[in-house]
Structures are given as C-alpha cells and as structure tokens.
Amino acid sequence: MAEPFQLKHETFFDIQMKSDVAHNPVVAGFSTRHGGFSDKPFQSLNLGLHVNDNPNDVVRNRIKLAEALGTTLDQWVFAEQVHGKEIQKVSAGDRGKGSTIMKTGMIGKDGLYTKDRDTVLALAFADCVPVFFSAPGHSIVGIVHAGWKGSVLGIARDMVELWKQDEGIPVEDIKVWIGPSIQQCCYEVDERVISNVDKVADSRYSPYTRKDSEDKFMLSLQRLNQQLILQTGIPEKNIQVSDHCTSCEVSTFFSHRKEKGQTGRMLGFIKLL
C-alpha cells in the first residue's frame, strides 16, 4: 500500500485520501520540524507549549502552520495530553481553546472528535502514534494520541466504539490512518511495557520481537493499534499505516527518544471542510 502521508509543504505532510471521501472533504496531516521560529533544541517548528520553549515562538509557529493550511489559529482546538484514554467531543464553541495558553485546552484528554466543519482538532506528538479517523458521509472526524500507555488502554479502539454507540456510525464506514511515529526498528521497551501489551495484543500476531537480552523488546505501536482497531470490526482495507519513523527521520521530525527528551513537538491535525 502506498505511503498515505506525503510532504505537502515544508511545514507539514498531508494524508492522501481516496476518492471515497471526495463528497465529504477532510483536511488532515502531520507537521514537520521545519519552517518555524524556535531556537535550539526546539528548532525550528516546535508546536508544543509544554516543553520550555519560548511560548511566543510556539504561537508564531502555530500561526504559520495554520496559515499554511488556509485556517486561522482561533479555529484550532488543543488538549492537555496525559497519556490516558479520555476522549472529548468538540464543538464550534470550543475553537481557540489551548491555542495560545495550554491550560485553556481540553484538560486531561488524549482524543478529540467533532462533527462541526472548519473546527481544527490538534494533538502534539514526538514519537507517540497519531491515529486519525473519518467517516465519509457522516460528517465526523477525530484524532487520538497513542503512546504505549494510551495504546494498551485502547484509546484508538474506544474512538471507534464511541462513534458506533454515541453517533450511530457503522464501523464499515470508518476510515483510519495511523501516522508517523517511532517504529519497531527504534522502539526498545522493557518487560513492564510488554506485560501490559500482552494483555491486549493478538497473541497470533505479536506486535513485538525479543532482543538478545531477555528483558528487552522491540515494539511496534503501529501494529498494536491496528490490531486493537480491527477488534472493533473495522475492515482491514479501511486502515492505512505510515512507514515514516520519527526516530530514523529525526532530520524531518522531532523524536523524544532519539533526542533524549530535549526536543520539540509536531502536531497531528484534522478538520472537516
């Protein structure tokens, strides 16, 4: 399957969506680390307000990305992410929350969705997995932040269940894109993480391999999230997975693991037109 995330502008990759969403247009993508105003170690398009960067530079960076997408920052909605599983439905009245001051965002949320057009949902990433959702014909989009904790808590699976139960959307109508993140080649974890993964993963198709050391493993969060989403009944053909590795491609993306925590954040974003 072709790579769904293609560089559209120096500041972002966009999702190459199939023709079946043409009647329900969506703008979605993932930012790069280029084209902004931040100084080292956040150079240059750091979009996170929580990493001790100059907040004025971060806001300038967010404005630049918003303009590149043909939007204004007051249309965007951000969250204070906590590596949990809480998901918030967003309305047009929430626009601007968290856009310039983090504590005004959706507190304690790692997933957002909306049925309102021109409301941009945004979450921050620097290795964790961004998962994007759309249901063509139902006017709804969403995004979740899935690190290992959010993944094993089932946040991506929960988004699908919310749409099915609360919004009445058939699972076969839901499309999913698993975006750029740290890949199995670079994501070493210990037995503590794997013991939690084993509780939810499909044992027939392990999302990790064991290293020579008995207590070290190489984990694919992409494959784990794909497995959990498939458990909801979404057809496999409705899920596209990026091959971009934020750690391998640190010249393009910020990587918390590769840069030992001293780095900026990308944004995953999605909106209905």
Give the CATH number for residue 261.
Answer: 3.60.140.10
Average pLDDT of every residue of the chain? 95
Query: Domain for residue 167, yes or no?
Result: yes
For the chain, how many structural domains are there in total? 1
In a domain, 210, yes or no: no
pLDDT in tens, 174-224: 999 999 999 999 999 999 999 999 999 988 889 999 987 778 999 999 999
Nearest Cα to 149, choosing from 75, 224, 46?
224
Average pLDDT over residues 253-260: 97
CA separation for the pair 5, 13 (Å, rounded)? 6
Across the range 15-39, mean pLDDT stands at: 83
How far apart (Å, rounded) are the C-alpha atoms in residues 244 and 104? Answer: 32
Q: Are 69 and 10 in contact (CB under 8 A)?
A: no
Dist CA 231 CA 210 (whole Å):
25
Kindly state whether residue 212 falls inside one of the protein's structural domains: no
pLDDT at 12 over 70: yes
What element of type H or E holds 175?
A: strand 175-178
DSSP annotation string for 216-240: EEEE-HHHHHHHHHHTTT--GGGEE
22 falls within a domain? yes
pTM of the model: 0.97
At 1 the pLDDT is: 72
Q: List the structure tokens of 219.
A: 């984990």
Q: Do the domain assignments include residue 202?
A: no
**Closest C-alpha among 269, 267, 265 to residue 46:** 265
C-alpha distances in angstroms, 19 versus 24, 55, 117, 136? Answer: 10, 39, 19, 10
> Is the pLDDT reported for residue 87 higher than 80?
yes
The share of the chain scoring above pLDDT 70, in percent, equals: 97
Q: Name the pLDDT band for 22 (thresholds 50, 70, 90).
A: low
91: pLDDT confidence band, cut at 50, 70 and 90?
Answer: very high
Domain range enclosing 117 = 5-181+234-272
Asked if the model's pLDDT at residue 154 lies above 90, the reply is yes
Res 133 pLDDT > 70? yes
Tell me whether residue 91 is in a domain.
Answer: yes
Q: Is residue 227 part of a domain?
A: no
**Structural domain contains residue 225:** no
